[in-house]
């Protein structure tokens, strides 16, 4: 058993620095071969409404022209008041989210207080930046982050680029291969003062719209009972929409978007 003081002696950095000090940072050796920017085969999007944010993501993972998984989760709870979604290379993205989630909880336990929403987004941007060498070889990971800002009493969301740029979006944000379709849909349909029910329906519509055009994005699969992941973050915290409600939202959207 090692002496706990070895751990206590690590400088007061976060969980990431602790991993580095212990030699446990996730590492992928890069090959000396230029790649192309790979497809971020997915659609995840977030939009703001009058008392928070909603986030939705499709469930399909692809390998080239193959469906690798039909029930993959791409939208996760980051902590009590935020959600994070991923697009890009699945293995790298999931590891990034695991590290992000651990870091937020670690900070909260050590400091006795939560990071600010902006602080969380900045930290996530740093994780994206660390992936840059891999991104240059085509192994891209681009997250989408949204949450409820308890100081400002409003929902907020952030998009990122492969070099770790962090951009706050005022109305909606999306990432993945279907994001262009989703955003153009939202640009024409978004209203300023949506309530939660309208926001959920709009988010689902945008995802269905993207799935109609982007082959790497799967819409709701009513036959198999596989629905997009849809979550809400408001002043009461994070909440995932259950399957019964998702079935209704999905069916309604498929009716509207033709």
Partner 1 sequence: MSNPFYVPPEQLVKDRAEFARKGIGRGRAIVAMQYADGLLLLAENHSSTLFKISEIYDSIAFAGVGRFNEFELLRVAGIRHADLRGYMYARADVQAKALANAFAQTLGNIFTHEVKPYEVEVLVAELGGSAGEDRLYRVMYDGTLVEEVGTAAIGGPAEALSDYVRADHDPNQTFDEALKKAQAAFTEVQGSSPSDWEGAVLERGGERRAFRRLEL
CB of 112 to partner 1, least distance (A): 7
CB of 3 to partner 1, least distance (A): 5
Give the contact letters, 154-193, x = binds to partner 1 (CB under 8 A), - = no: ----------------------------------------
251 catalytically annotated: no
Binding-residue total with partner 1 (CB under 8 A): 21
Contact 232, 196 (CB under 8 A): yes
For partner 1, which is the closer residue by CB, 120 or 166?
120
Spell out the residues 6+ positions from residue 141 whose beta carbon is closer than 8 angstroms to its own.
Answer: 86, 87, 88, 89, 92, 93, 96, 128, 131, 134, 135, 162
Member of 67, 68, 110, 152 binding partner 1 (CB under 8 A): 110
Helices (H) and strands (E) in the chain, counts: 8, 12
Q: According to the binding rule CB under 8 A, does residue 64 interact with partner 1?
A: no
Q: Select which of 30, 42, 122, 229 is catalytic.
A: 42
CB of 166 to partner 1, least distance (A): 24
Nearest to 141 by CA among 155, 158, 124, 153: 124
Q: According to the binding rule CB under 8 A, does residue 112 interact with partner 1?
A: yes
Q: According to the binding rule CB under 8 A, does residue 7 interact with partner 1?
A: yes
Q: According to the binding rule CB under 8 A, does residue 23 interact with partner 1?
A: no
For partner 1, which is the closer residue by CB, 18 or 198?
18
Q: According to the binding rule CB under 8 A, does residue 255 interact with partner 1?
A: no
Member of 38, 39, 94, 106 binding partner 1 (CB under 8 A): 106
Q: According to the binding rule CB under 8 A, does residue 116 interact with partner 1?
A: no
- Dist. CA 82–CA 75, nearest whole Å: 11
Cite the DSSP H helix spans in the chain. 5-8, 15-21, 90-111, 117-130, 132-136, 179-189, 196-213, 243-256
Member of 69, 70, 98, 187 binding partner 1 (CB under 8 A): 98
First-to-final CA distance of the chain: 62
Could you give the C-alpha distances from 159 to 10, 71, 156, in angstroms and in order?
A: 32, 24, 11
Q: According to the binding rule CB under 8 A, does residue 28 interact with partner 1?
A: no
Member of 4, 31, 192, 244 binding partner 1 (CB under 8 A): 4
- By DSSP bridging, strand 172-175 and strand 44-49 are antiparallel
140-156 core/surface letters (b: 16 or more CB in 10 A; e: else): bbbbbbbbbbeeeebbb
Side-chain half-sphere exposure of 140, counting CA atoms within 13 A: 22
Beta bridge partners of 160: 166
Q: Which residues bind partner 1 (CB under 8 A)?
A: 1-5, 7-8, 10, 15, 18-19, 22, 24, 98-99, 102, 105-106, 109-110, 112
Q: Which residues are catalytic?
A: 42
């Amino acid at each position: 058993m090692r002496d706990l003081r070895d751990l206590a002696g690590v400088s007061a950095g976060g969980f990431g620095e602790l991993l580095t000090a212990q030699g446990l940072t996730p590492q992928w050796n890069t090959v000396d071969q230029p790649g192309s920017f790979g497809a971020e085969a997915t659609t995840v999007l977030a939009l703001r409404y009058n008392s928070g944010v909603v986030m939705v993501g499709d469930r399909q993972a692809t390998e080239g022209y193959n469906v690798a998984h039909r029930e993959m989760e791409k939208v996760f709870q980051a902590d009590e008041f935020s959600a994070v979604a991923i697009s890009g290379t699945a293995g790298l993205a999931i590891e990034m989210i695991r590290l992000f989630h651990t870091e937020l909880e670690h900070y909260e336990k050590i400091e006795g207080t939560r990071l600010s929403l902006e602080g969380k987004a900045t930290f996530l941007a740093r994780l994206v930046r660390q992936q840059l060498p891999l991104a240059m070889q085509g192994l891209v990971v681009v997250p989408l982050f949204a949450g409820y800002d308890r100081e400002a009493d409003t929902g907020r969301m952030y998009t990122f680029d492969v070099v770790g740029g962090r951009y706050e979006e005022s109305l909606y944000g999306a990432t993945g291969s279907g994001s262009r379709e989703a955003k153009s849909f939202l640009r024409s349909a978004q209203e300023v003062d949506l309530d939660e029910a309208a926001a959920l329906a709009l988010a689902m519509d945008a995802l269905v719209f993207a799935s109609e055009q982007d082959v790497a994005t799967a819409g709701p699969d009513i036959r198999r009972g596989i629905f997009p992941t849809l979550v809400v973050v408001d002043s009461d915290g994070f909440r995932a929409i259950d399957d019964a409600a998702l079935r209704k939202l999905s069916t309604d959207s498929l009716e509207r978007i033709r």
